[in-house]
């Protein structure tokens, strides 16, 4: 059975990184953007990282510019923005695509393991449904991720156990992480 440990990604300098390096840790894998309405998620993500890092928790940040061009900078510019504005210390990888023919294989795998269900209920969810339908129709059946700050929770064996859309309250995400630790 395939796990996230079977994948290799690129760090910000373009070096190959095997996710097997994270074996035995609880992971939260996130596609991010610096100019998105959900960019403030960096604050609770960093707080969670600081609180749980010593217990074997890692956040893996993958910037993506496929959603309304909301991550236009270079890898270094994005990293500088995140560290200066939000004080992020968790690993940030090279910018990737998460949808379409150029989608990173890791994100295609994550989405196959935990497909999109919905943005939930309420005003934010209704708004997001309209936006993502317009943006993602160009990717067809390869529209794996619906928007920035989609989060995948991985257990210590490398299995995908949950998917959180950006509309999910960060307290719900934190509770799920704590339960795995």
Q: Give per-residue pLDDT as tens, 83-128.
A: 877 788 989 999 999 988 999 999 999 999 988 766 666 666 556 6
Read off the pLDDT band of 62 (50, 70, 90): very high
Single pTM value for the model: 0.89
pLDDT digits (tens, 9 = 90+) for 2-43: 999 999 999 999 999 999 999 999 999 999 988 776 777 899
Which residue, 174, 175, 151, 181, is CA-closest to 60?
A: 151
DSSP conformational letter for 58: E
E-assigned strand segments in 51-98? 57-63
> How many structural domains is the chain composed of?
1
Q: What is the CATH number of the domain that holds 95?
A: 3.40.30.10
Q: Which residues contact 173 (CB under 8 A, 6 or more apart)?
A: 28, 44, 48, 151, 153, 164
Please say if 82 is a catalytic residue: no
Which residue among the candidates 4, 26, 33, 36 is catalytic per the annotation?
36
Closest CA to 151 of 179, 102, 116: 116
Which of 39-53, 79-93, 136-150 has maximum average pLDDT?
A: 39-53
Neighbours of 49 (CB within 10 A): 19
Where is average pLDDT lowest: 42-51, 100-109, 122-131, 164-173?
A: 122-131
Nearest to 168 by CA among 122, 126, 119: 119
Among 13, 167, 20, 178, CA closest to 92? 13
Which residue range forms the structural domain that includes residue 159? 4-180
């Amino acid at each position: 059975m395939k796990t996230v440990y079977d994948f290799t990604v690129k760090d910000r300098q373009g070096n190959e990184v095997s996710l097997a390096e994270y074996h035995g840790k609880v992971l939260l894998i996130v596609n991010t953007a610096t100019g998105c309405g959900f960019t403030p998620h960096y604050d609770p993500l960093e707080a969670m990282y600081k609180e749980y890092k010593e217990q074997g928790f890692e956040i893996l940040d993958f910037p993506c510019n496929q959603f309304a061009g909301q991550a236009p900078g270079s890898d270094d510019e994005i990293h500088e923005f995140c560290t200066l504005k939000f004080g992020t210390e968790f690993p940030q990888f090279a910018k990737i695509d998460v949808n379409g023919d150029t989608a990173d294989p890791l994100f295609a795998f994550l989405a196959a393991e935990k497909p999109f269900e919905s943005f939930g209920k309420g005003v934010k969810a209704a708004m997001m449904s309209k936006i993502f339908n317009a943006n993602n129709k160009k990717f067809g059946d390869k529209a794996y991720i619906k928007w920035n700050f989609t989060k995948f929770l991985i257990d210590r064996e490398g299995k995908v156990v949950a998917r959180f859309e950006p509309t999910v309250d960060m307290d719900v995400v934190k509770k799920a992480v704590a339960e795995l630790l």
